[in-house]
Amino acid sequence: MGAGARGRADRRSRVRRRRARRPCGHPVVERRGAVIGRTILRVVGPLAPCVVIVVAAWWLALEAFGISPLVGKRPPQVWDYLTASEAHREAVFGALGITVRDAAIGFASGMVAAMAVAVMFVLFRTVEQTFMPVAMLLRSVPLVVMTPLITLIFGRDLVGVAVIGGIVVFFPALVNIVFGLRSASPQATDLVMAYGGTRMTVLRKVAVPTAMPAVFASARISVPASIIGALIAEWLATGEGIGAEILRAIGGFRYDEVWADIVVVTAVSILAYAVVGVVESLVLARFSDRA
């Protein structure tokens, strides 16, 4: 065996020994898990003191204004209501599941519609000049006024819920996404066009990646808004979910249930906001790595 062959054999032997000493587990998977963990801590961490402040302000405000415990329930009373009885939890969380479903439908329909219309506005300026004033005019009409008409047209089932929740999400998201798509770099746009790209190519390669922060900003705004839209739909249209349960509990003087409903739907809204923030951080980090 020549010197070159012996050298190659020695190198292969050293590589095998180094691989044998490596710890178990895929380093890429471990690194990705660490990144996700840090992202969750960075997004959720600031929310914890905010929650403590809100709970303290709730308690102090009731005490400061002398609200009777029969009407204004303190945090320990709400906790006791949720933990003392399985029937209470089933009633609250059963209604919460319906509200979360309604909010998810409204959020998805509103965001999809906003992104589709925003793309149309960016590709065809005449369409934007024609329909953007109409959209802003409709935005100025209170949703409570429009809900009976929407119910008459689309019914009280999930289609009506999707329309009511989608309207709440659609208009703020549309403005943000159009702005994001229009903020693409002119130099990058000219470069794609110089290489024979079409407007769709510019949209796909330049405008959409540039608009991702605006899309996620719209999503963060729209998540709490979609829950509000679901509550409005339940109050005025479907008669199901947390919105309807709050009205029935108020009519029955069940104030423990009213406060428990408000607390759990607020907690879900905060949690959904945090989830969108985590997804935003991970997706934008992935886009920046590819850039």
| pLDDT by residue, tens only, the chain of 291 residues | 555 555 555 555 554 555 544 444 445 444 666 667 776 777 667 777 888 899 999 999 999 999 999 999 999 999 999 998 899 999 999 999 999 999 999 999 999 999 999 999 999 989 988 988 888 888 888 888 899 999 999 998 899 999 999 999 999 999 999 999 999 888 988 888 888 888 888 888 899 989 999 999 999 999 999 999 999 999 999 999 999 999 999 999 999 999 999 999 999 999 999 889 888 888 887 766 555
What is the reported pLDDT for 35? Answer: 64
What is the reported pLDDT for 8? Answer: 53
What is the reported pLDDT for 2? Answer: 53
49 belongs to a structural domain: no
191 belongs to a structural domain: yes
Among 141, 172, 165, residue whose Cα is nearest residue 243: 165
Residue whose entry in the numeric block shows the structure tokens 């605006």 = 214
Buried (b) or exposed (e) across 169-208, using 16+ Cβ within 10 A? bbbbbbbbbbebbeebeeeebeebeeeebeeeebbebbbb
Residue whose entry in the numeric block shows the structure tokens 């739909």 = 233
- State the burial class of residue 4 (Cβ atoms within 10 Å of its Cβ: 0-12, 13-18, 19+): exposed
The two three-digit tokens of residue 22, written as one number: 């490596």
11 belongs to a structural domain: no
What is the reported pLDDT for 252? Answer: 92
63 belongs to a structural domain: no
34 belongs to a structural domain: no
For residues 282 and 19, give the distance between their C-alpha atoms in angstroms, rounded to a whole number. 30
Contact in structure between 82 and 92 (CB atoms under 8 Å): yes
What is the reported pLDDT for 243? Answer: 93
For residues 95 and 221, give the distance between their C-alpha atoms in angstroms, rounded to a whole number. 24
- The three-class DSSP label of residue 159 is helix
What residue numbers bound the domain in which 240 lies? 73-290
1 belongs to a structural domain: no
For residues 249 and 235, give the distance between their C-alpha atoms in angstroms, rounded to a whole number. 12
Number of folded domains that form the chain: 1
Model confidence, pTM: 0.81
6 belongs to a structural domain: no
- Please report the sign of the dihedral spanned by the C-alpha atoms of residue 244, residue 248, residue 253, residue 256: negative
What is the reported pLDDT for 28? Answer: 47
Task: Give the torsion through C-alpha atoms of 225, 230, 232, 234, to 10 deg.
Answer: -170
243 belongs to a structural domain: yes
| CATH number assigned to the domain comprising residue 108 | 1.10.3720.10
Residue whose entry in the numeric block shows the structure tokens 């943000």 = 176
Q: Helices 27-44 and 255-290 sit at what angle, rounded to 10 degrees?
A: 130
Kindly give, in sequence order, each residue whose CB lies less than 8 Å from that of residue 188, ignoring residues fewer than 6 positions away: 206
For residues 122 and 183, give the distance between their C-alpha atoms in angstroms, rounded to a whole number. 11
